[in-house]
Structure 1
Amino acid sequence: MAASFFNRARSHPAAPAISFGAHTITFGALGERVRRIAGSMRARAGLQRGDRVVLWMENRAEFLELLLATWTAGLCAVPVNAKLHPRELAHIAGDCGARAVFTSDALIEGIAAELRQIDPAPFVCVAGSAAYEALADGPPMACAEVAPTDLAWIFYTSGTTGKPKGAMLSHRNLLFMTFAYHADIERVEPGDTKLHAAPLSHGSGLYGLPHLFAGGHQVVLGGFEPQEVLEAFGRHPNVTMFAAPTMITRLVQAVGPGFDPGGLRTLYYGGGPMYVSDLVKALDRFGPRLYQLYGQGETPMTITGLSKRDHVGDGGPAHLQRLGSCGTPRTGVEVRVVDDAGRDLPYGEPGEVITRSDCVMAGYWNNPAATASALRDGWLWTGDIGAMDARGCLTLRDRSKDMIISGGSNIYPREIEEALLLHPAVLEFSVVGRPHPDWGEEAIAFVVLRPGTTAGPADLDAVCLENIARFKRPKGYRFVAALPKNNYGKILKTDLRQTLQQENDHA
């Protein structure tokens, strides 16, 4: 991975590589810093080939140079979302046997005591500190030789159902992901802009790699503020940005009809359900610049994709059905929909989505049971329920664990959620199953209303009955001020189920 970066640093040394705030560093200068930090990691911090290096910090330029330095030194990066609790970070550092942790001023105080409990204690350094700059003054090292199968990145799952698991991603996995980006999404030229408003530890950082290797300019924002993002669209050329669906919704709310998207070229989204009505509004505001990706940490960013061209249509039933899908298999990727025995299902019949490609992880770190469950005969069993049509277009229904079975019939929460979104008073929602003595399970909807609006169960029942079968409508509603979410913005359905269980316990 590092060799690909250094190729670009040699060919375009004066091109801007990373901008953060008012500071910009060129590819040539970044390459020099990366070599020196890598040399210090090995010589001063005592790290050895293959050691794991945790990167736990907010969005900042040092994240990217540390990522590159880690690979230059022949080490494995473990990027972690800065919003995690210190105890969650300590669990990850201990689980992967981290030999170094790079963090920030804002986070070090909360984690220092936790890290001292790890044996042996890892080397700890604060990005931007004098000690960190001393690493950048050390002697440079040549790029370490690594094998394609060596670990490059351990991606810890978001842990919505328990302790996070570390998906082991090799250099080959990440290179395949990069090649698929260029094949399916866009060709990157030197000077193109990659805007980072989402965490670098996740989808934004992963797809920063194709841009870094092609000479793209990384513009790093400290976080997601819609107005700051919109201003960046107007300030930079050929802008590409990752956004979770909730981020796109906020951007749409921040602009009016006739908005000029400026230099925006590509807005790629994923990581959660994108409801069709929200997507139609986004297309109205931003035009044919959206690309939907479907992937997992276990096969980063790369299972299926809905291209910019496939987003365009006449608003008719076929077009809206296509927008409700997550597209077709990516270049070099096999995707199937199967039953519990692994047999292919007919078009339109829902089953578990499985995939095979050079992007699929080697397994979960130190977790052979989970690895054996997820990887079978070379195929990754995603745990997602979907259906494939005759064109090869995949439509996700839900996670297999989220499907509700009521009276022997399968109910997919997303179907109900799509219907609820049609009510103008509904802002956010999530549907989960609750045990029922006669039917097995029943659907319960948690709903957040828009400020200044009102709606009751009868109102929401009416919109459901207009759009889905009667047996699918929720059997109860819970109106709440906010929905529980993890640090990537995903709704924690496990917490909602616990709320229902507590209601039952106190009944």
Structure 2
Amino acid sequence: MNLVHLLLRQARQCPDRLAILYGTEPWATHAQWAQRSAGLAQRMRAAGLVPGDRVMLFMRNQPRYLEILWAAWWAGLVVVPVNAKLHPREAEWIVANAGARWAFVTHDVASEPLAGLQQQIDVESDACDDLLTPVGDAWAVPVVEREAQDLAWLFYTSGTTGRPKGVMLTHRNLMTMGLTYFIDVDPVSSEDAIVYAAPMSHGAGLYAIPHLMAGARHVVPASGGVEPAELFALGEAIGPLSTFAAPTIVKRLVDHAEQHGIQAEASARAFKTIVYGGAPMYAADIARALRVMGPRFVQIYGQGETPMVGTALSRRQLADTAHPRHTERMASVGVAQTPVQVRVADADGRSLPTGAVGEVLIKGDSVMAGYWNNPEASSAAVRDGWLFTGDVGCLDADGFLTLKDRSKDLIISGGSNIYPREVEEVLLTAPGVAEVAVVGLPDAEWGEAVVAFVVLQPGSTATRDTLDRHCLASMARFKRPKRYEIVTELPKNNYGKVLKTELRQRLADPAHAASGQRSAM
């Protein structure tokens, strides 16, 4: 079960169909893609790389990403995708931990050699062009066959608390993810186009697999990232786009559509499907997105440890406003995707009844093989086949999962559990509020006190007093923030997730604490 056969299948059946575009410009047909990947695979094997060796991709979004990814699998290698926003020293730590032998980079990301590598290739160089040129008949280059349980993708977690861990994803894991997309997320045809605006080193890149399965087009924007005007124009030029986006990217697209008066009909010409996930999407935000851009959204919940597969909230469920529990479903992350089981359990792994809050567990063929060279963490995370996600949530009678928070983010104040997301949901409905993050502050009397970091919209007149009145009108007094910090922005990692650890560190800083006490309610 080698994922490279997905490319070979398309290259043989429809060799001349356009497969990759760079902006609106054609980059490669399926046959050209396969020929280039074969050439690189041939040269990597000739240079001494053997099946199971790790090859790092430390580069911004670029059409070569797809060619190199499938070349590595052709040669039986394991890809180590690294976010282009990481510092080179952080990338070097991953090189050492993964034992990567080669790295493919873009000059803007790694202008100097990374320590520990045998070979570093600038993907925009003539040398890389030469490596991708097949020697003789590309179809004669043998595929290094792999077993379903062999590694394909070694993904390093974002490392918000200490060093990242290498998530070992197998060919079976990724094949499961690809096939599940058609059943639970979105049907795909050969006329479709997926655009890579979010980092290809993460979920966006993984969705290349189902779109290759369907023979769809792959589009890398010329900017290599998220430029809303560019993405809307691309969709108008080449046909409605599908994309994976973190909620922060969705917000930028919706802001652009609203600010430029782009109606839902025009949004439909630019975007077929926007799959969102990777961080909380608050009910108020998705309601606004649907109002501005129409029914083109699907939510997925998964983790790097079960890539893109956990639960899904379909566009049909999001649009079913007549359902008596539509409001609750909008705040959920949907129901279990087809190949997995999802349950909520106590600290000992015992299933909890409907409505009870506990840790979310997932089991199925998408769950990782473990953490690279970290048996202790692997044993703690996967027990009897169940992935202990560290997320806290509850299931309703219809199987819809509502996430409360990460277990480490739970606030216990005066003996009562307070879920930061619940407070954040309320504050996001306050006039003038753009973003919110809620954390706990150690408190001698209560154990922990609730602190809300709030980013205001431009021109907002909201104050700590108005925010507090809004909370008191919508939630129990014990849940309301004891303190409001008005900030210009929230700290986020390279994937757009708010770094609550950093917010807690700010509160622990004596200088910040002193100034904060003056602003406390």
Does the aligned pair in 2 maintain the 1:415–1:468 contact within 8 Å?
no
Secondary structure of 1:194 counterpart? strand
Q: Distance in 2 between matches of 1:194 and 1:235?
A: 14
TM-score by length of 1: 0.96
Give CA-to-partner distance per residue, 1:25-58, whole Å, 9 cap, x none: 10011111110011111113x2111000100100
Task: Please tell me whether residue 497 in structure 1 is matched to residue 504 in structure 2.
Answer: yes
Partner residue of 1:143?
143
Partner residue of 2:517?
none
Deviation (angstroms), 1:359 = 0.2
Secondary structure of 1:303 counterpart? strand
Q: Distance in 1 between matches of 2:133 and 2:77?
A: 20
Q: Distance in 1 between matches of 2:160 and 2:249?
A: 20
Give CA-to-partner distance per residue, 1:397-438, whole Å, 9 cap, x none: 000000101111110000110111111211111100111112
Q: Supply the AA of the counterpart residue of 2:170.
A: S
Secondary structure of 2:325 counterpart? helix
Q: Distance in 1 between matches of 2:311 and 2:118?
A: 38
Secondary structure of 1:109 counterpart? coil
TM-score by length of 2: 0.94
Partner residue of 2:229?
227
Does the aligned pair in 2 maintain the 1:360–1:380 contact within 8 Å?
yes
Change (3 A) 1:37 1:489: same
Q: Supply the AA of the counterpart residue of 2:369.
A: A
Q: Distance in 2 between matches of 1:61 and 1:314?
A: 40
Unaligned runs of 5+ in 2: 515-521
Does the aligned pair in 1 maintain the 2:420–2:439 contact within 8 Å?
yes
The 5-angstrom pairing of residues 193-208 of structure 1 reads 193-208=193-208
The 5-angstrom pairing of residues 318-333 of structure 1 reads 318-333=325-340
Give CA-to-partner distance per residue, 1:174-233, whole Å, 9 cap, x none: 000011111112232223111111111111111111101221100111100111111122
Deviation (angstroms), 1:503 = 3.0
Match of 2:87 among 85, 88, 92: 85
Partner residue of 2:389?
382
Deviation (angstroms), 1:504 = 7.4
Does the aligned pair in 1 maintain the 2:85–2:109 contact within 8 Å?
no
Does the aligned pair in 2 maintain the 1:15–1:190 contact within 8 Å?
no
Q: Distance in 1 between matches of 2:109 and 2:406?
A: 33
Q: Supply the AA of the counterpart residue of 1:30.
A: W
Deviation (angstroms), 1:455 = 2.0
Change (3 A) 1:447 1:267: same
RMSD (Å), alpha carbons = 1.5
Unaligned runs of 5+ in 1: none
Q: Distance in 2 between matches of 1:445 and 1:505?
A: 14
Partner residue of 2:492?
485
Q: Distance in 2 between matches of 1:423 and 1:437?
A: 30
Partner residue of 1:61?
63
Q: Distance in 2 between matches of 1:228 and 1:263?
A: 10
Change (3 A) 1:391 1:428: same
Change (3 A) 1:290 1:48: same
Match of 2:45 among 25, 34, 42: 42
Partner residue of 1:211?
211
Task: Please tell me whether residue 470 in structure 1 is matched to residue 477 in structure 2.
Answer: yes
Match of 1:349 among 351, 356, 367: 356
Partner residue of 1:447?
454
Secondary structure of 2:110 counterpart? helix
Deviation (angstroms), 1:138 = 4.7
Partner residue of 2:263?
258
Q: Supply the AA of the counterpart residue of 1:219.
A: V
Task: Please tell me whether residue 283 in structure 1 is matched to residue 293 in structure 2.
Answer: no
Deviation (angstroms), 1:372 = 1.1
Does the aligned pair in 2 maintain the 1:432–1:445 contact within 8 Å?
yes
Partner residue of 2:6?
4
Task: Please tell me whether residue 305 in structure 1 is matched to residue 312 in structure 2.
Answer: yes
Percent identical residues: 49
Change (3 A) 1:26 1:257: closer
Partner residue of 1:133?
129
Does the aligned pair in 2 maintain the 1:15–1:191 contact within 8 Å?
no
Partner residue of 1:423?
430
Match of 1:371 among 373, 378, 395: 378
Match of 2:280 among 254, 273, 294: 273
Secondary structure of 2:510 counterpart? helix
Change (3 A) 1:232 1:257: closer
Deviation (angstroms), 1:323 = 0.6
Partner residue of 1:27?
30
Does the aligned pair in 1 maintain the 2:54–2:79 contact within 8 Å?
yes
Does the aligned pair in 2 maintain the 1:270–1:294 contact within 8 Å?
yes
Deviation (angstroms), 1:239 = 2.2
Does the aligned pair in 2 maintain the 1:291–1:308 contact within 8 Å?
yes
Secondary structure of 1:331 counterpart? coil
Partner residue of 1:105?
107
Q: Supply the AA of the counterpart residue of 1:96.
A: A
Give CA-to-partner distance per residue, 1:311-370, whole Å, 9 cap, x none: 113378621211100000000210000000111111111100001000000000011111
State how many pairs are aligned: 500
Deviation (angstroms), 1:15 = 0.8
Q: Distance in 1 between matches of 2:198 and 2:99?
A: 27
Change (3 A) 1:164 1:13: same
Partner residue of 1:403?
410
Q: Supply the AA of the counterpart residue of 2:297.
A: L
Divergent runs of 4+, >6 A: none
Secondary structure of 1:91 counterpart? helix
Q: Distance in 1 between matches of 2:242 and 2:413?
A: 43
Give CA-to-partner distance per residue, 1:76-103, whole Å, 9 cap, x none: 0011110111111111111100011100
Q: Distance in 2 between matches of 1:122 and 1:450?
A: 49
Does the aligned pair in 1 maintain the 2:356–2:395 contact within 8 Å?
yes
Partner residue of 2:519?
none
Q: Supply the AA of the counterpart residue of 2:119.
A: F
Deviation (angstroms), 1:244 = 0.9
Q: Distance in 2 between matches of 1:313 and 1:359?
A: 29
Q: Distance in 1 between matches of 2:54 and 2:371?
A: 14
Q: Distance in 1 between matches of 2:438 and 2:512?
A: 20
